[in-house]
Structure 1
Amino acid sequence: MTATWEKKEGNEGLLEVTVPAKKVDEALNQAFKKVVKNINVPGFRKGKVPRPIFEQRFGVESLYQDALDILLQPAYSDAIDETGINPVAQPEIDIKQLEKGKDFIFEATVTVEPEVELGDYKGLEIEKQDVTVTDDMVEDAVKQRLEAMADMVVKEDGAVEEGDTVNLDFDGYVDGEQFEGGQAEGYDLEVGSGSFIPGFEEQLVGLKLEEEKDVEVTFPEEYHAAELAGKAATFKVKINEIKAKEVPTLDDELASELDADAENVDAYKANVRTQLEEAKKNDAENLQKEEAVIKAADNATIDIPEAMIRQEQDRMIQEFAQNMQQQGLDLKTYFEISGQTEEDMREQMKDDAEQRVKTNLTLDAIAKAENIEASDEDVDNELQKMSDQFGISVEDIKKTLGNSDLIKNDVRVRKVIDLLISEAKLVDAPADSEA
């Protein structure tokens, strides 16, 4: 087999492939053996028709499609290997010659991975991230953890306060008429949660048990129900029950229950501070890595084929569908609920998909430029980390993944990002961005 590659405009090119006549005849023989099993010819048992009789009756051309199925894919794959190109989409095939006793010739119009013209990726200016943990941050974290443990206690006396959960009946009117979806009985609402129309929850503060009130609000201009958007509404509200959070008091005993390594409140808060510092440090590192990757990609020049963007959109939709499945929804149901179509979603995802493709191509180009690879030892170490983290044996992880290519690529990408960070210059945030 011989193959030639000619680059055309953009990322397309023409791949010309010639397969020797001997291979064609072998493919025709295979095609005949397949077809003859289902042929009935008077005077011959099924599957026993001689080749000359078959060709005389049906013509050798009747074998060409099956022979093509046998020849094309292996020839195309071999041609890719021989020419060293990297296709990113299915080719357009043009069969030039397929005849018994002659070479098989075809042309493939192929879209290939684009060339990457790297810009600056060393010495990038990356904004420093503040990793300071203040006393107020520690106190807020402790407060949130205590509030998560709070019991809800019915308030027999007293009025609604922000943070209380009220059980209420409401009946909504616009222009004096009830509107669909504006009524409920026995509805639980946390006051201050921002769950209802702006202004609604604030007007519940101060109400007492069994008290009624007309709550006046205006629907937002961008409200999802167009017939209500921007309209003034009145809700007739009745308070059925008021529950307040009873937050436990942090003492030495509770501190040791919350954290086995803390003997008292001070030790518990010290451990909380350490956890916050570690979290801020990790967040800072991730933000700096993200900025370095984005800047390196922005500095690169790449003519990205539409086919690669479409493929990335496919992956993003698949990821979204998997997330929906975890919430008990399929894509069809989601589109019905949201009023969105798949084409709408694709259009919304297009810019992100293009950025993803550009980023991946840039990181791959840097890896090649710097001769960065993931060794077998790197892969083994990564598999062991996964095993320790998830409590699954290395062998089971290997069986699940099928091969180590995904891990090898992940390790390679991380090495590239580590290079970007090690070569970057950390700079202070602009004064006007500090707040």
Structure 2
Amino acid sequence: MAFEILEQVPGHQTLQFEIPLPELQPQYDECLAQGLNGSALELALTQSVLLAYLQERHYALWAAPHLSELQLTEQGLEFRAALQLLPKVALPEYCGIRVEVPPVPVPDQEDLLERVSNLQLGAAKEETVAREISWGDRVYLDLVVTVGQQPVPLSARVNFPVLIEPELFFPGFAEALIGHKTEDAVDITTHLPMDYEYPAWRGREAIYNVFIRRVCSLQLPPLDEHFPALVGKGSDSDTMMQTIYDEMLAENQLYWQDTVAELLMAKLVPACEFELPEDLIQAEQLSDWERLDHPALREQGLEESLIEQAKTTWMKFRNLREEAYWRTAGALVLRAVAIQEGFSLSSAEWQESLDELAGSFGHQGSEMAAELRQSGELSLLADRLLLERTLRWLVSQAELVYEGQPLSAGASAPP
């Protein structure tokens, strides 16, 4: 692989690549077999070259590379790449970390009855009506909460289904919707608590800006002898309740495993030495906004000035910045562990993960691989899968303790 480093400072490299076509022949043939040509072919080959460069040097990117002067000829591939590199990490001893774990939550009678109620609502027959909203209706809303005309982070919803009941959001919210119809716009006012995470808004008036898309009446199925079969939980009530209990306990086991992983990382990350660039934290926080808030704000047709205000406000929230910091720091540490342990995904592991992910979207693994390669996201997916594997390994190496007693390998805390 022929390349020249044109610029290098901590966290940044600019390189010029010149790769003879014979070196690219396997990747070239694979791309042609997938039907890639033109700019898509050039981009796929470029991504392949960059991935090999990064893997050989144990580098990782925190932003998509900036590519320029890309040219594919009969002689080979030429391009320039500006890379934003993740910082290096000094790791402590990470095997045998002692983690005090909580018990696995056990579903109680109230949990089971709530799940039955949710199943009943899920099986209800829904009919769109032109009348005013009444108690027990399911209503589809567009919603955004504003304080002084500024959208509140994570408040935007589009076509959001709610059940009209007294416990909805806060006292008085459901009552304010009663009597309204489809296509009504309703402003519902409340006040933010004095301990609200954004100090400038503590105690301020907040307006729930609601647009009613659709009002539906619900016909709930009776909780009779036919109900278990209707919701796919067996043929009788006892079987249904046992099935629900087993499902909820399994869900709690998975939640417990995630909790243990979080507790482990809460010990490991502060013990490491590294410096996260502020630009990296802000980029992660901005990525969260673009993924979680921006689509709903845009779909509601808000003015661009309000959307920009929403982004600015999002970046000011300390809790959102802290979440971005810890997520970024955790990924950085896991990547360092993976490198030190020499972890990699085998072809079989990679294909299995890709097939599973593609299947959830109704695609074939090969189709998704081609799409991800074309978009430049294939290496990001591989990185995420490797980090997940590394975290599972760290948990398997940890000393898990429940109420002062060590847990045997592979065991979970008792309920």
Q: Report TM bin, short chain.
A: 0.5 to 0.7
2:333 is matched with which residue? 362
Q: Which moved more, 1:404-413 or 1:354-363?
A: 404-413
Cα distance in 1 between the residues matched to 2:118 and 2:60: 53
Describe the SS at the equivalent of 1:302.
coil
How many angstroms does 1:274 deviate by? 2.0
How many angstroms does 1:116 deviate by? 0.8
Cα distance in 2 between the residues matched to 1:6 and 1:219: 54
How many angstroms does 1:364 deviate by? 0.9
Q: Which amino acid aligns with 1:396?
A: E
Cα distance in 1 between the residues matched to 2:236 and 2:340: 55
Counterpart of 2:309 (choices 340, 345, 369) is 340
CA contact (8 A) 1:121 1:299 kept: no
How many angstroms does 1:221 deviate by? 6.5
CA contact (8 A) 2:62 2:280 kept: yes
1:300 is matched with which residue? 272
2:361 is matched with which residue? 390
Q: Deviations over 1:299-319 (max 9, x none)?
A: 212112223223323422332
Q: 1:295 to 1:264 in 2, by over 3 A?
A: same
1:258 aligned to 2:227? no
Q: Following superposition of structure 1 onto structure 2, how do residues 123-202 of structure 1 map, counting pairs within 5 Å?
A: 123-124=96-97, 125-149=99-123, 190-195=164-169, 198=171
Q: 1:220 to 1:358 in 2, by over 3 A?
A: closer
2:282 is matched with which residue? 310
CA contact (8 A) 1:378 1:411 kept: no
Q: 1:201 to 1:363 in 2, by over 3 A?
A: closer
Q: Deviations over 1:18-38 (max 9, x none)?
A: 9xxxxxxxxxxxxxxxxxxxx
Cα distance in 1 between the residues matched to 2:324 and 2:94: 22
Question: Where does the alignment leave 5 or more consecutive residues of structure 2 unmatched?
Answer: 17-49, 64-81, 127-133, 138-161, 176-188, 206-216, 405-415
Counterpart of 2:395 (choices 409, 415, 421) is 421
Q: How many pairs were matched up? A: 290
Q: 1:164 to 1:2 in 2, by over 3 A?
A: closer
Q: Following superposition of structure 1 onto structure 2, how do residues 15-164 of structure 1 map, counting pairs within 5 Å?
A: 113-124=86-97, 125-149=99-123
How many angstroms does 1:421 deviate by? 0.9
Aligned residues: CA RMSD: 5.1
Q: Which amino acid aligns with 1:142?
A: V
Q: 1:334 to 1:119 in 2, by over 3 A?
A: farther
Q: Which amino acid aligns with 1:256?
A: A
2:29 is matched with which residue? none
Q: Which amino acid aligns with 2:167?
A: S
Cα distance in 2 between the residues matched to 1:249 and 1:389: 33
How many angstroms does 1:355 deviate by? 2.1
Q: Which amino acid aligns with 2:227?
A: L
Which protein has greater RCO, CA pairs closer than 8 Å, 6+ apart? 2
| TM-score for both structures, normalised by structure 2 | 0.54
| TM-score for both structures, normalised by structure 1 | 0.52
Describe the SS at the equivalent of 2:342.
coil
CA contact (8 A) 1:374 1:409 kept: no
How many angstroms does 1:140 deviate by? 2.7
Q: 1:266 to 1:334 in 2, by over 3 A?
A: farther
How many angstroms does 1:372 deviate by? 1.0
1:273 is matched with which residue? 245
Identity of paired residues, percent? 16
Q: Which amino acid aligns with 2:230?
A: E
Cα distance in 1 between the residues matched to 2:204 and 2:325: 35
How many angstroms does 1:357 deviate by? 2.3
Q: 1:394 to 1:410 in 2, by over 3 A?
A: same
CA contact (8 A) 2:8 2:14 kept: no
